[in-house]
Structure 1
Amino acid sequence: MLPDSKEMKMTNDVPNKGLEWTNLILGATLACAAFMFPGLPAAAWNAGIVGVLIVTWSAVALYRYATWTEWSNLTLGCWALVAPFLLGFGSAPTPMWTHVLIGASVATIAAIQLMASRKAPAPSSSS
């Protein structure tokens, strides 16, 4: 079954561009933080990959907003939050706190954007 067309429809109406830019910056920060963890390859790779993906989906949302971009960032933020403990670098304070704080922030912002997009009126299709 195909998803609801309303769910997949892309618009230019980002609920809050400032929050989207914040997620983009947080993703870039996480990606750059990968270079701070040379002795912990799991932390470095995870920070780099997850950070780039957050930047990508935030940039897509800024260009053509769709709720799937926020769901992607919500998932990535939650992953960054738990990754230190699942990938085994939870005992290293700097990479652990970097992932936890940025992950929690990204997930929270994505959830706020999703709630705001549900409350926003649907764009009219009349010309």
Structure 2
Amino acid sequence: MKSEVPSKGLEWTNLILGAGLACAAFLFAGLPAAAWNAGIVGTLIVCCSAVALYRYGAWAEWSNLTLGSWAVIAPFLLGFGSAQAAMWTHVLIGLCVATVAIIQLRNSRTASA
């Protein structure tokens, strides 16, 4: 396990994206499933990114990859896919978080090889 983050900038990006998703929960007050999902998933992304900034581990990136993927499919599985603002917020932030996690995983694999 490597203790240094491959890119602190990318890790901060995921932390900010997670905070944005968590804050977006307040905008979705009329849609309880969207609000709860945004709040919980956003907070978990923030926590994983903060821990990775403190002590990097691939598990944090795998967690963010999973959380980002969940954010992309959640609107359709939880039934708020027809609410355009909630759906697009989840999909776009989820894609960004998952992409950053993939880049971080690739960079950490390259650095350790």
Q: TM-score, normalised by structure 1?
A: 0.87
1:83-114 C-alpha deviation (Å, 9 max, x unpaired): 00000000000000000000000000000000
Match of 1:36 among 27, 39, 45: 27
- Determine helix, strand or coil for the equivalent of 1:116: helix
- Quote the offset at 1:121 in angstroms: 3.0
Report the equivalent of 1:27: 18
Q: Distance in 1 between matches of 2:112 and 2:13?
A: 24
- Whether 2:67 is the aligned partner of 1:76: answer yes
Gaps of 5+ in 1: 1-8, 123-127
- Quote the offset at 1:12 in angstroms: 2.8
Q: Distance in 2 between matches of 1:66 and 1:32?
A: 26
- Whether 2:53 is the aligned partner of 1:53: answer no
Match of 2:90 among 96, 99, 111: 99
Report the equivalent of 1:6: none
- Quote the offset at 1:75 in angstroms: 0.1
Count of matched residue positions in the alignment of Structure 1 and Structure 2:
113
Report the equivalent of 2:81: 90
Q: Distance in 1 between matches of 2:72 and 2:94?
A: 5
Q: Distance in 2 between matches of 1:14 and 1:71?
A: 14
Counterpart of 1:101, as a letter, is L
Report the equivalent of 1:18: 9
